[in-house]
Amino acid sequence: MIKVAFYDTKSYDKPSFERYGETHGVQFKYLETKLNEDTADLAKGCDAVCVFVNDTVNAAVIDRLYALGVKLIALRSAGYNNVDVRHAFGKIHVVHVPAYSPYAVAEHTMALLLASVRRIHKAYNRTREFNFSLNGLTGFDFHGKTVGVIGTGKIGRIFIDICRGFGMKVVAYDPYPAAGAGIEYVALDELFAQSDVISLHCPLNDGTFHTINAEAIAKMKKGVVIVNTSRGALIDAEALLDGIKSRKIGAACLDVYEEEADIFFEDRSGHILDDDLLSRLISMPNVIVTSHQAFLTEEALNNIAETTVSNIRSCFGNDGVCDNELCYRCGSIERCKSNRKDKCF
């Protein structure tokens, strides 16, 4: 039986992981706390840890897990910006879930956009108080508008297909364009200048940190709508707030936030929120914030559990090879994934 410390457990995680764990010889030790330097010792006696987007897996945590005999860090997410993969190389193997349901995230992106532009959230609140006035609810047609998509991986391309269904013109930016996808790629500055809507679908790394900043916002159309369902730090939140206050940004739809780690996924309705920046963003009438829920569908949760358990079984199997391992053996985190034939170390 493979023992796994499952950090940052939520009620919706357990059913799928229990089902796949029981049938594949994986025993989960569910922990509500997040993984960090203070909680790493809770993994004592476990073969692996299973972590999510707001767990801290820095060098100090990796060293402590290694000292405890932990052999695997299994991410139940696609992104791995919270893991020091370079430091883990040669000590602890790291695996992730590269695709669980790109449709879930792309559809939530469009749901946010529709709710914002057509003022659906405002109309819902009004009619519950029997206020049927239409004043202040005027939106705009998507048809004929230009949407700029930053990042054209699976999620980005599905979102592009959805936008095309609305009759929108699509331009995109990606340092690694999808060959033969029929997508019009432009330079990032050109995307900023052309787009009525900008949607972010790229990973967070040194090259994408604060892609949306004060300089970028200055190049955008007045009234642009910005949507982010990827990673919070792709946007400089202070610059975003300034853009909203100056009326340069017409609306913002955020499923992620730069400093979300100690806020999202918890009920804080009975507490005073210490994060003044997030409080101010939420207070804006043209901002919609959801709590990192774009991934949250039955299909996605099932796929995440199935792939994570499969990753764990593969790493502890006879040859220890897992197609979803992340490492620095080739000098790049994902370079050798497509033709991996042996363990990274």
Instruction: Determine the Cα–Cα distance for residues 285 and 244; give it in Å rounded to an integer.
Output: 10
Active site residue 231: yes
Count, residues in the chain:
345
In contact, 118 and 91? CB cutoff 8 Å: no
Q: Which of 231, 258, 266, 334 is catalytic?
A: 231
For residue 292, indicate whether it is catalytic. Answer: yes
* From 93, 108, 119, 292, the catalytic residue: 292
Domain 102-289 = CATH 3.40.50.620: no
Mean pLDDT of the chain: 94
Q: What is the pLDDT of residue 327?
A: 80
Residue from 316, 295, 319, 322 nearest 27 by CA: 316
For tokens 């269904």, name the residue. 165
User: What pLDDT digit, counting tens, does each position of 241-279 carry?
Assistant: 999 999 999 999 999 999 998 899 989 998 899 999 999
Give the three-class secondary structure for 322: coil
Q: 215: pLDDT confidence band, cut at 50, 70 and 90?
A: very high
User: Would strands 93-95 and 325-326 be described as parallel, antiparallel, or unpaired?
Assistant: antiparallel
Per residue in 294-330, pLDDT tens?
Answer: 999 999 999 999 999 999 999 999 888 898 999 877 6
The 10s digit of each residue's pLDDT in 39-80 is 999 999 999 999 999 999 999 999 999 999 999 999 999 989
Residue 88 to residue 339: CA distance in whole angstroms: 21
The single-letter code of the amino acid at 135 is: N
Q: What three-state secondary structure class fits 76? A: coil
For residue range 17-45, list pLDDT tens digits in order: 999 999 999 999 999 999 999 999 999 99
Per the residue annotation, which of 96, 157, 201, 260 is the catalytic one? Answer: 260
Extract the tokens encoding 18: 């229990």
Query: What are the extents of the domains in the chain?
Result: 2-100+298-339, 102-289
Q: Are 316 and 323 in contact (CB under 8 A)?
A: no
Dihedral over Cα of 262, 38, 51, 343: its sign: positive
Residue with tokens 């200048």: 193
Question: What pLDDT shows up at residue 336?
Answer: 60
Residue in 238, 263, 243, 154 with CA at minimum distance from that of residue 198: 243
Distance CA 160, CA 168 (A): 9
Q: Each residue of 116-150: pLDDT tens digit?
A: 999 999 999 999 999 999 999 999 999 999 999 99
Q: What is the pLDDT of residue 335?
A: 57
Helix (H) or strand (E) holding 14: helix 14-23
Say what percent of the chain tops pLDDT 70. Answer: 97
For 240-256, give the DSSP string. Answer: HHHHHHTTSEEEEEES-
Average pLDDT over residues 336-341: 59
Residue from 80, 62, 82, 59 nearest 72 by CA: 62
Which residues of the chain form beta strands (DSSP E)?
A: 2-6, 26-30, 48-51, 72-75, 93-95, 146-150, 169-173, 197-200, 224-228, 249-254, 287-289, 325-326
The per-residue pLDDT for 33 is: 96
337 has pLDDT over 80: no
Chain centroid to CA 331: 24
Q: pLDDT higher for 6 or 317? A: 6
Q: What is the pLDDT of residue 122?
A: 96
Residue 108 designated active-site? no
Whether the pLDDT of residue 82 is over 60: the answer is: yes
Tokens at 68, concatenated: 């405890």
**DSSP type of residue 162:** H
Give the confidence band of 185 by pLDDT, cuts at 50, 70, 90: very high
Helices (H) and strands (E) in the chain, counts: 11, 12
Looking at residue 273, its pLDDT comes to: 93
Q: What is the pTM of this model?
A: 0.89
Residue 334 has pLDDT above 90, yes or no: no
d(CA 236, CA 238): 6
Q: Is the pLDDT of residue 341 over 70?
A: no
CATH topology for the 2-100+298-339 domain: Rossmann fold (3.40.50)
Same fold? 2-100+298-339, 102-289: yes
